[in-house]
Structure 1
Amino acid sequence: YQDGTTDITRTVPIGQPTQEMRERFTLVLKGMIGISTLRFPAGTRGSEIDAVARMALWKHGCDFAHGTGHGVGSYLAVHEGPQRIARTGTEKLLEGMMLSNEPGYYKEGSYGIRIENLILVTPAQEIEGGDIAMHGFETLTLAPIDTRLVQSDLLTRDELHWLDSYHARVLAEIGPMLDGETLAWLEKATAPLPHDAKI
Structure 2
Amino acid sequence: MGSSVQPKAQNGKFQVGFPPVAAAENSALIRHLVDVVNAVYTKDEQGIWASDKPFARTDDDEISKYLQSGELALAWASDTSKPAEPGFVPEPSSVMGCIHLHRPEERLVEVGMLVCDPAFRGSGVGRELMRFAEEHAKEQGAAVTQVELLFPEGWEHPFKMRLQGWYERLGYKLVRMGEVKDKYPRLVDSLAGPTRFKVSEKQL
User: If the TM-score is normalised by the length of the shorter chain, which range does it land in?
Assistant: 0.3 to 0.5
> Under a length normalisation based on structure 2, what TM-score does the superposition of the two structures give?
0.33
Choose between structure 1 and 2: higher strand proportion: 2
> Under a length normalisation based on structure 1, what TM-score does the superposition of the two structures give?
0.34
